[in-house]
Structure 1
Amino acid sequence: MTSPVRILTLATLFTLLAGCAVMSKDDCLKADWAELGRRDASQGLAIERFAARADACRKNDIGADRAAYAAGHADGQRAYCTGELGENDATLGKVSAPLCAPVPLGNAYQTGYAMGLIRFCTARSGYEFARLGGTYRNTCPADLAGPFQAGLRMGTELRELNSRLDGIQRDATEQRKVLADDKSSADQRDTARRLLRQLDADEAATRRLIRQAELSALSF
């Protein structure tokens, strides 16, 4: 039996060889519609992909086998919609794959996705997810969303504080360049020193806030 990894590798290779066109005339003449269905499903593409393929072949006066494509797509869908993929998607904060919504083909995926949400929708996970710049897509169910949102807010605050610190340090570097430049006037140097004093104070204050946020996050 062909493994999901093998199917995905073949699908990727097919896509690279096919280029931007959906189907060339030669592709249509040689098409194994069941295999095309499996390949498309292995890439997470819905069965509606058949319409684009069939249309491309129709323009070359070549027919398409919808029944064979649909059968192959169902096989590929079973291989794609695994519990492992569902759990992985959930723990990465991804929305549930539309291809894996139908029952029973998507049952394993949905079970894995539910398990992944239990791991993902925690305060600590929300904190790390936001701290690292993740975009939350409201995937946590109502009974798990509260703790996750609390962590998300803390992680967002810390990310913004670190961004502020980076900006302060960049500004300070520019003012130090003014002081190091032999061409800078006395007024420019005075302004640079004044700004550096303010930037140093801002950096110290921001670092304190970062430390406070990090300490607060230890409770998660």
Structure 2
Amino acid sequence: MKYVFFFSLVLLLAGCATMNKEECEVADWRAVGYQHGAKGQSATAFDNYQKDCSKHQIKADFSAFKLGHQQGINEYCIYERGMELGRAGANYNNQCPSSRYEGFEDGYFAGLIRYCTYDKGYELGVRGAAVNANCPHDDFREFSAGHAAGYVRFEMAQDIRELEDSLHALDDQMQLELDFIADSEALIVSDKSSASQRAKALEDIKIHRIALTDLGRQHRKLEKQLARLQAQFNDY
């Protein structure tokens, strides 16, 4: 039962760099350090533990923590873990210096080769995402080419959306002009309207029809632009 309690405590501490009084009293500092190291995390979490425990006049054992942490790091910084990070395009873990963990480094760059492809670059570009700095142009030209091609498509899609938004806005403005014209026409045929009101309504109709004609001209122009851009987008 005691073993289960300690094991549960270690799992708890691995996910949260804080401790209460009871946790400080029973902490297996070597196990806590190991959990952080085995996840590729730095040893800086100990500073928080030390502060928490000092509030209760309990001394945290850095030597034990550091020993466990190093053991965890040794198990983390292996070829397979490096490959996993590389294939995800993630940053190189600075807890695994290449001078000490050559296998991790080899795995990382082997993973990058699988990640930094034309298709992955295109995928990022078409989403409008930035170039992954872990795939430098000089080393991964295909990735850069893919990103550039994808980003062009992303920008074209943005331009299409902007044109569509502009057309929707023009539709709304044209409808307003039609509504103004309809209201003026209703005023002209109303028995309750005076001669001056009818005359004013006629002038308003002329003004709104001119505006409607201008809006229609703009609308047709944007429609042509949109059709050309959509054709380019489909052929790209």
Over aligned residues, Cα RMSD in angstroms? 3.1
Query: Contact 1:161 / 1:206 at 8 angstroms: preserved in 2?
Result: yes
May I ask how many residue pairs the two structures share in their alignment? Answer: 200
| 1:127 corresponds to 2:122 | yes
Counterpart CA distance in 2 for 1:174 and 1:184 is 17
Counterpart CA distance in 2 for 1:157 and 1:37 is 48
Out of 51, 54, 61, the residue aligned to residue 55 of structure 1 is 51
Q: Which amino acid aligns with 1:209?
A: Q
1:145-184 to 2 correspondences below 5 Å:
145-180=140-175, 183=179
- 1:53 CA drift (Å): 1.8
So what's the TM-score if we normalise by structure 2? Answer: 0.68
Counterpart CA distance in 2 for 1:209 and 1:26 is 67
Counterpart CA distance in 1 for 2:130 and 2:37 is 26
Counterpart CA distance in 2 for 1:58 and 1:197 is 74
| 1:207 corresponds to 2:218 | no
Which residue pairs with 1:198 in the alignment? 221
Query: Contact 1:93 / 1:136 at 8 angstroms: preserved in 2?
Result: no
Higher relative CO (CA 8 A, sep ≥ 6), structure 1 or 2?
A: 1
- 5+ long unaligned stretches in structure 2: 1-6, 182-207
Query: Contact 2:98 / 2:104 at 8 angstroms: preserved in 1?
Result: no
- 1:190 CA drift (Å): 4.0
- 1:144 CA drift (Å): 2.3
Which residue pairs with 1:33 in the alignment? 29
- 1:51 CA drift (Å): 2.1
- 5+ long unaligned stretches in structure 1: 1-6, 215-220
Query: Contact 2:86 / 2:115 at 8 angstroms: preserved in 1?
Result: yes
Query: Contact 1:95 / 1:137 at 8 angstroms: preserved in 2?
Result: no
Secondary structure of 1:161's aligned partner: helix
Identity %: 25
Counterpart CA distance in 2 for 1:33 and 1:52 is 13
Larger Rg computed on CA atoms: 2
